[in-house]
Amino acid sequence: MELNSKIYVAGHKGLVGSAILRALQEQGYSQLVYRTSSELDLRDKAAVDEFFAQEEIDYVFLAAAKVGGIVANHEYPADFIRDNLQIQTNVIDAAYRYGARKLLFLGSTCIYPKLSPQPIKEEYLLTGELEKTNEPYAIAKIAGITMCQSYNRQYGTRFISAMPTNMYGPNDNFDLHTSHVLPALLRKFHEAKEQGLPSVEVWGTGSPRREFLHSDDLADACLFLMNHYEGDEIVNIGVGEDISIRELAELVSRIVGYQGQIEFNTSYPDGTPRKLVDVSRIHALGWAARISLEEGITSVYDAYQKEALVQN
């Protein structure tokens, strides 16, 4: 990408999109295009077509998606598959038809089989059954990958796909009903400390292991891939290390400064037992994550406290 290229960040308000936008701004890219969902509904094909026709976009970071944790995926499965299929179909097709030079499609490591060998290599895609709780979302993302590959093959486009592991960072979703595990834990422990509660409930047994990538590291990887990677093969983005939910809860408790007990409610599902991605492909390309988990959580908690002060 040239510094004066016209670059569209779809989903610039979200955790991932906002990090990509910050990274582009910090690196001096001057023609950045973005729209809120109220200004441009990406589920509306006619609106997306009109936007691409007017803006003449060079590069697209497709970070817009309907996302959520176990509870949201369980309660809104139709929304997850419909909205994500509509968003990615409209943007990918418009990027081709209106001459975008390159597109990066962001998927998720939940596309891999529930019981994948660990760490998860890119070639394990479609080798087993998906985790049922997020199957509609995963199938939509798999369709997006296949769409990018198919457009490359039929139309000669340069559409690439990256699969980030579990994300956290500034602009995360802290709603306990729809958030992912890390921001949910941060909010639970913070509120328990503020209210002097004797214990904090954590869903599940605490035994599943998860990998966590800071959104600023992901953004750095996305810019790296846009500038340096060409190919149909998907690329995992992660840190190459994981942690149990129990260990994560203890780490968050320590960072927040909570002194009470941690209680695990085993009536809630654990989800996938382990999800660690193999990052050898992106390491071979020349990129690696830099932000440690403790450093990253501490910075996110600092930002969360400041936001809470502003709201109060």
pLDDT tens by residue, 8-22: 999 999 999 999 999
Q: Angle formed by the axes of helices 293-311 and 181-195, to 10°?
A: 60
pLDDT at 273: 82
Q: Is the pLDDT of residue 91 over 80?
A: yes
Per the domain annotation, does 195 fall within a domain? no
Q: What is the mean pLDDT of residues 54-78?
A: 88
Q: What is the pLDDT of residue 312?
A: 58
Domain residues for the domain of 231 are 6-171+212-240+274-291
251 in a domain, yes or no? Answer: no
Strands 209-210, 243-244: pairing is: antiparallel
Cβ-based neighbours of 74, under 8 Å, separated by 6 or more: 133
76 exposed, middle or buried (CB, 10 Å; 0-12, 13-18, 19+)?
middle
Could you tell me the pTM of the whole model? Answer: 0.92
Residue 85 · residue 152 · CB < 8 Å: no
Q: Which residue in 64, 61, 111 sits closest to 87, CA to CA?
A: 64
User: 300 labelled as ligand-binding?
Assistant: no
| Whole-number Å distance between alpha carbons of 7 and 20 | 11
Residue tagged active-site, from 8, 59, 96, 137: 137
pLDDT of residue 181: 85
Position 310 confidence tier, pLDDT thresholds 50, 70, 90: low
Asked if residue 179 has pLDDT above 90, the reply is: no
Question: Does residue 272 register a pLDDT over 80?
Answer: no
Q: Is the pLDDT of residue 252 over 70?
A: yes
Tell me: pLDDT of 23 over 90. yes
- Give the position of tokens 């939940």: 110
d(CA 45, CA 228): 30
Asked if residue 260 is part of any domain, the answer here is no
Burial class (CB in 10 A: 0-12, 13-18, 19+), 184: buried
CA terminus-to-terminus distance, the chain: 42
* CA proximity to 70, closest of 170, 187, 203, 173: 203
Residue 263 resides in a domain: no
**189 within domain boundaries:** no
Please report the pLDDT score of residue 236 as a whole number. 98
156 is in an annotated binding site: no
Q: How many CB atoms lie within 10 A of CB 124?
A: 17
- Biggest alpha carbon–alpha carbon distance for the chain: 61
pLDDT for 297? 97
44 belongs to an annotated ligand binding site: no
Average pLDDT over residues 31-60: 98
Residue 76 is predicted with a pLDDT of 84
Residue labelled with tokens 């093969």: 233
- Name the residue among 97, 121, 93, 123 with its Cα closest to residue 105: 93
Q: Give domain status of residue 140, yes or no.
A: yes
- Domain with residue 285: its CATH number is 3.40.50.720
In contact, 57 and 121? CB cutoff 8 Å? no
Instruction: Give the containing element (helix H, strand E) for 31.
Output: strand 31-33
Q: Is 193 annotated as a binding residue?
A: no
**pLDDT at residue 145, rounded to an integer:** 98
Q: What is the tally of structural domains in the chain?
A: 1
- CB count within 10 Å of CB 193 equals 16
Q: What is the pLDDT of residue 311?
A: 66
**pLDDT reported for residue 90:** 98
Question: Cα–Cα distance between 268 and 30 in angstroms, integer?
Answer: 47
CA distances, 121 to each of 125, 134, 137, 193 (Å): 8, 20, 20, 40
Tens-place pLDDT, residues 119-140: 999 999 999 999 888 899 999 9
pLDDT at 106 > cutoff 70: yes
pLDDT at 170 over 90: no
d(CA 6, CA 33): 7
13 is in an annotated binding site: yes
Q: Is 239 annotated as a binding residue?
A: no
Q: What angle do CA 299, 300, 304 make, to 5 degrees?
A: 120
- Residue 174, both tokens: 């802290």
Instruction: Count other Cβ atoms within 10 Å, centred on residue 46.
Output: 9
What is the structure's pLDDT at 67? 79
Look at residue 248 and tell me if it is in a domain: no
Over range 60-69, report the average pLDDT: 88
Determine the residue type at 76.
Answer: Y
3-state secondary structure of 71: helix
137 is an active site residue: yes
**Residue corresponding to tokens 């998606």:** 65
Domain-embedded: residue 128? yes
